[in-house]
Amino acid sequence: MSGAGSPTTAITPADGLAPDGRPLRLAIVAAQWHDAVMNGLIDGATRLAAEAGLSPDLIRVPGSFELPLGAQRAAADHDAVVALGVVIRGGTPHFDYVCDGATAGLMRVMLDTGVPVGFGLLTCDDEKQALDRAGLPGSVEDKGYEAAAAALAMVRSGQV
Ligand code: DLZ
């Protein structure tokens, strides 16, 4: 899937406010595998939050397979959740099980709770693909930032 064509709407502090004027509660739920890539994703989501005037809560889970439960817990007391993880293909079908479980679980959390979950799970063939999407110096995409923007956009679209 190409990242070309992603939305370019600028984020303003108004995007961080609930209709009653209080700041939105934003959680970043982040797996702990592949440190360098994860740091880039978390920085990207945090940068987006700062542009919206928000200080997100950072919740770490062991791996991407644990993202749905982390997101479900966060959805209980946040207006939006950003789920971040990196899974890199190995030599067994394990990759597919972790990616499928995490993806289906995150969708279920979003639909069951009605709380937007930004999908920042990188599913890559190798580390270079992940670094290219991590929002780091030299990266071509910034998937943590994009996932956070999507979560806030969904909060906004539910308010109209
Ligand atoms: C086990 C595993 C493997 C092999 N690879 C990754 C990975 O690339 N990225 C990731 O986020 N997590 C990985 N994990 C850990 C699983 O997501 C999970 O944490 C463990 O299976 C324990 O439930």
pLDDT tens digits for 88-144?
999 999 999 999 999 999 999 999 999 999 999 999 999 999 999 999 999 999 999
**In angstroms, what is the span from residue 18 Cα to ligand 1's centroid?**
35
Distance 97 CA to ligand 1 centre (A): 10
- pTM, to two decimals: 0.96
CA distances from 62 to 34, 36, 57, 145, 154 (A): 11, 15, 17, 21, 27
- Cα–Cα distance for residue pair 79/145, rounded to 1 Å: 17
Alpha-helical (H) ranges within the chain are: 35-51, 67-75, 94-113, 127-132, 143-157
Read off the pLDDT band of 70 (50, 70, 90).
very high
How much of the chain, in percent, has pLDDT values that exceed 70?
A: 99
Residues in contact with ligand 1 (CB, 6 Å cut-off): 31, 33, 62-66, 85-88, 90, 94, 98
Terminal Cα-to-Cα distance of the chain (whole angstroms): 30
What's phi and psi for 109, nearest 5 deg? Answer: -60, -45
> What does DSSP assign to residue 55?
-
Q: Given the structure tokens 């293909």, which residue do they identify?
A: 89
pLDDT of residue 43: 98
> What's the pLDDT band for 26 if we cut at 50, 70, 90?
very high
Give Cα separations from 96 to 34, 46, 99, 100 (angstroms). Answer: 17, 28, 5, 6
Q: What is the pLDDT of residue 2?
A: 74
* Mutation choice for ligand 1 from 34, 42, 84, 98, CB with most ligand atoms inside 8 A: 98
Check: CB of residue 157 under 8 Å from CB of residue 54: no
34 catalytic residue (yes or no): no
**Per-residue confidence (pLDDT) for residue 12, from 0 to 100:** 86
Residue 8: which residues within 8 A CB-CB, separation 6 or more? none
Atom of ligand 1 nearest to the CA of 66: 19
